[in-house]
Amino acid sequence: MKQVTLNPPSLTIREEVRPEDRIAVRDIVESTGFFSAAEADVAVELVDERLAKGPSSGYYFVFIENEGQVLGYACFGPIACTVHSFDLYWIAVHRDQQRMGLGLKLVELSEQAIRRMGGRRVYIETSGREQYKPTRGFYERCGYHEDAVMTDFYDEGDDKVVYVRKV
C-alpha cells in the first residue's frame, strides 16, 4: 500500500478517547451525508461504551486532528471468540477534509494498532448498494478483498459485503 504522509504536518494522531469525542464523532459522521440517524447513534454509542468501560469495551479508536479539531476517525476492535480477527467498524472523514488521503491514513493507523494487539485479519462490512460503490472501491484500494456477500442482509435489495485483509 502507498505510504501516506500527513499534510499539513500540523496534523496529529490520538488514540485516547475523550468525552468531547462524542460530539466530534457525531459531527463527522453526519457531515458525510452518508449515514442514517440510527447509524450516527450507533457511532456515538461506541464512543460511550469506550468511555464507560475502557479497553474492555472492545472498541478502539484513532483520531486525526488538526490543532485540536478532529478531522476524521476510525473505530475497530477484536471480534469475540476469534483468535486474531478484528472488525474495522467505522472510518469517517469530515466532508470538508476529504480527498486528502486521510481515509487511507486512518485505515493504515488502524491496521498498525490491530497488529500491535495481535490481530492478523481485519474485516470491514459494508453495503452492496450502488451508493456504496465508491466506499467499496476505497476498501479495494486499501488492499481489502471481498470475502462474502450476504443477500438482503441490511434490507430487501441491500446486501452486506464483507471485505478482509491480512495484516
**Rule CB under 8 A: which residues touch its own copies?**
36, 38-39, 42, 79-85, 121, 123, 147-156, 158, 162, 164
Q: Distance (Å, rounded) from C-alpha 44 to C-alpha 124?
A: 18
Select 138 or 154, whichever has its Cβ closest to its own copies: 154
How far is residue 119's CA from residue 77's CA, in Å, rounded to a whole number? Answer: 9
To the nearest whole angstrom, how small is the minimum distance from the Cβ of residue 38 to its own copies? 7
Closer to its own copies at the Cβ: 22 or 121?
A: 121
Separation between Cα atoms, residue 152 and residue 143, nearest integer Å = 26
Minimum CB separation from its own copies for residue 85, in Å? Answer: 6
* Cβ distance to its own copies smaller for residue 20 or 45: 45
Q: How far is the CB of 150 from its own copies (least distance, A)?
A: 5
Residue listed under C-alpha cell 456477500 = 149
How far apart are CB 113 and its own copies at their closest, in Å?
Answer: 20
Comparison of 14 and 160: residue with beta carbon closer to its own copies: 160
CB-nearer residue toward its own copies: 25 or 64: 25
> Which long-range contacts link 28-33 to residues 24+ away (Cβ below 8 Å)?
28/70, 28/71, 28/72, 28/73, 28/92, 28/93, 28/94, 29/90, 29/92, 31/94, 31/95, 31/96, 32/92, 32/93, 32/94, 32/95, 33/95
Read off the amino acid at residue 93. Answer: V
Smallest separation (angstroms) from its own copies to the CB of 89: 10
H-assigned helices in 69-166: 102-116, 133-141
